[in-house]
Structure 1
Amino acid sequence: MDSCKLPERIDVHCHAVPEKYREKLIKNGFQNPDGMPAIPPWDAEIHLQLMKDRNISRSILSITSPGTNLTPNNAAEATTTTRQTNEELSSICRSHPEHFSFFASLPLPLVSESIQEIDYTLDTLGAVGFTIISNAHGLYLGDPTFTPVLEKLNSRKATIFIHPTTCNLIIPESHPFVKPVTVLPYPRPMMEFMFDETRVVANILLSGLLDTYPDLTFIMSHCGCTLPPIIDRIGAFDAILCGREDSSQRFKDLLKRRFYFDLAGKPFPEQIHGLVRMLGGAGEASSRLVYGSDFPFTREKAVIGLQDLMEGGLEEIFGKEVMGDIYVGNARKLLNL
């Protein structure tokens, strides 16, 4: 199809694999990240061609799992990798300012190093927000370790794009069933990613983080992952544990005010309905959705097919009159584009 006949889109969930970062992945044993067959090919020209062909006017580049802290026993190396990668992304965006912006990475769970990176990437490199993977070597947002980082992000009124990674639960040594975690022999993005991002968003809700840091805005990826069908269960357990009324509606209200949800992956024809219901119906949900392609980990042929599927699904649920907000308007408002 002629790109001029396609609706304009802003891609909030897509990735870059700049050359020096690729070298760091390979050096540290991530040739098959999260069980995927390989690191996909990527360069700016390949990405720009896809954007031209599919009428994507701007892409917000980010680093995906496993993030930039690739050396948990070497803080200096993790900090250097993070800074170098953020500078690579900034350079790409400066070369193509009309087409690319970026979410900066942080070397979590390193605290002081992450705080230093926040001001630098916003003030010097021009980041529009931050990507934080669902767990940082087993620690999830809401853990008290991250308090100074969240205070800093809140002071900058930051947007945080949460991206899933492989689950890394830390089980107390006294637990009677402590043993190595066994995962099914499939790439973790197939299923495990969806559970791990649900885990961190549940922890954000349960920990009270949203009340403590009122100026943070979050993007949950992959259409809410597995949160919608269990949000009422999470709210009910919170009420039991804390001796208060069912928290389900309070959590849903917080999600509607503080979160956006990207449509990367395969949310159509089934998954989207749970998210829309959780957010209170099509009228309320339409203002919290943004487009995502997940390129290049979702290859070009799949991006095209998923766009076509999304087009029909969005029209059926929301109607043509609000599809422009989902594709473009909400992202412009969120990121001041």
Structure 2
Amino acid sequence: MPALPDWSPEQHLELMDKLNIRKSILSISSPGTHLVAGDDELAAKVTRECNTYAADLKKKMPDRFGYFASLPIPNVDLCLQEIAQSAEEGCDGYVFLTNGHGHYLGDKVFDPIFDELNRRHALIFIHPTTPICPCSPGAQAQGQQLTKAAPFAGKYPNPMLEFFFDTARVVANLFMSGTIKRCPNLRIILPHLGGAFPPLLSRFTGFSTLVPGPWEATPEEETREAFEKQIWFDLAGFPFPSQIKGLTALGVTHSRIMYGSDFPFTKPPGVEMLLGKMDEGVKGMFSEGEIEDLYHRNAEKLLSMPVKR
């Protein structure tokens, strides 16, 4: 992004009041809280400070703010510590980036984290970040140097295109690694209607089923079933008029879709403009009751489930 935006609770509340948003769930998006590859001490410090701040804000204004606790991937031990401590502090769920310095969600190195979150019936929010290569744990173990895998970096902001592609990678990897099947109690929110994965669903499910390889065969029927049981999508970004049609064409119903703003990276005038386009778009696709569901009732139902200890 060209610049980092300002943010304060006061600015956030002003936007919420203007747009009739009763409560916000806060989270740290890219670059997350593990800022420097290999510097786990800094990651622990930044993560704890962010989660403590969010917990305090929720305690002060529980009717206005909730939060997803940050997890400093790829350090597994730090993540497990934060899962336990943030649960005690009252988090509403946990936020991951799609990759932590080239380690992608679905990699076996993260199995202890996902198994613990599955045990807790946890809610997780997966936000995209800049793709990194090598993305193979084996290649990294051999000392291959990490590099940003963003051909258009410097020409276009990474969130414009690369974030969507990284979401698609993680969706495929979570299914083909067997993580989704192994963790049936996990509840997952994908932003931006799942990024670029919807038109690729038949390709990665079909390929994984027909071609032998070091992945788990993932029939399309199983992925569609998981969408109805474990996965929700938010509307942040530019879902109308075209992107949402790719998701609903997969059979994803209004009950799995929720409002999202991308504030503060999307500034208040942009949030208001996009909400106007959203209001116009949903009226052409959903009934009045369904619109109420995706604007607030779906989130209210999902977030009423407490984080298990």
Unaligned runs of 5+ in 2: none
Q: Do 2:95 and 2:124's aligned partners in 1 also have CA atoms closer than 8 Å? A: yes
Distance 1:287 1:315 in 2: 15
- Give the aligned residue type for 2:27: S
Q: Which secondary structure state, in structure 2, belongs to the residue aligned with residue 115 of structure 1?
A: helix
Calculate percent identity across the aligned residue pairs.
41
- TM-score of the two chains, using structure 2 as the length reference: 0.91
Q: Do 1:82 and 1:107's aligned partners in 2 also have CA atoms closer than 8 Å? A: yes
Superposed displacement of residue 246, structure 1 = 7.5
Distance 1:313 1:189 in 2: 23
Q: Which secondary structure state, in structure 2, belongs to the residue aligned with residue 64 of structure 1?
A: coil
Q: Do 2:99 and 2:129's aligned partners in 1 also have CA atoms closer than 8 Å? A: yes
Q: Which residue of 2 aligns with 1:330?
A: 298
Pairing 1:129–2:97 present: no
Pairing 1:161–2:129 present: no
Q: Which residue of 2 aligns with 1:200?
A: 170
Which of 256, 261, 264 is the matching residue for 1:296? 264
Q: Which residue of 2 aligns with 1:287?
A: 255
- Give the aligned residue type for 1:276: T
Question: What is the number of equivalent residue pairs in this alignment?
Answer: 294
- Give the aligned residue type for 1:261: F
Q: Which secondary structure state, in structure 2, belongs to the residue aligned with residue 234 of structure 1?
A: helix
Q: Do 1:89 and 1:102's aligned partners in 2 also have CA atoms closer than 8 Å? A: yes
Q: Which residue of 2 aligns with 1:248?
A: 220
Pairing 1:147–2:114 present: no
Return closer, same or farther for 1:240/1:38 CA change in 2, 3 Å cut-off. Answer: same
Q: Which residue of 1 aligns with 2:29?
A: 64
Return closer, same or farther for 1:246/1:295 CA change in 2, 3 Å cut-off. Answer: closer
Distance 2:217 2:233 in 1: 27
Q: Do 1:133 and 1:163's aligned partners in 2 also have CA atoms closer than 8 Å? A: yes
Q: Do 2:102 and 2:146's aligned partners in 1 also have CA atoms closer than 8 Å? A: no
Which of 292, 300, 312 is the matching residue for 2:280? 312
- Give the aligned residue type for 2:197: L
Superposed displacement of residue 321, structure 1 = 2.0
Pairing 1:75–2:40 present: yes
Distance 1:197 1:245 in 2: 20
Distance 1:313 1:319 in 2: 12
- Give the aligned residue type for 1:40: P
Q: Do 1:59 and 1:101's aligned partners in 2 also have CA atoms closer than 8 Å? A: yes
Return closer, same or farther for 1:328/1:179 CA change in 2, 3 Å cut-off. Answer: closer
Superposed, 1:15-26 pairs within 5 Å as none
Distance 2:212 2:304 in 1: 38
User: RCO greater where, 1 or 2, for CA within 8 Å and sep 6 or more?
Assistant: 1
Pairing 1:270–2:242 present: yes
Which of 55, 73, 84 is the matching residue for 1:108? 73
- Give the aligned residue type for 1:332: E
Q: Do 1:287 and 1:330's aligned partners in 2 also have CA atoms closer than 8 Å? A: yes
Superposed displacement of residue 169, structure 1 = 2.6
Q: Which residue of 2 aligns with 1:27?
A: none
How large is the Cα RMSD of the aligned pairs?
2.0
- Give the aligned residue type for 1:128: D
Deviations 1:111-134 (A, max 9, x none): 1111011011011x2100000000
- Give the aligned residue type for 2:272: I
Distance 1:182 1:77 in 2: 25
Deviations 1:161-199 (A, max 9, x none): 00000001316669xxx9964521211000000000110
Distance 2:83 2:63 in 1: 23
Q: Which residue of 1 aligns with 2:20?
A: 55
Pairing 1:187–2:163 present: no
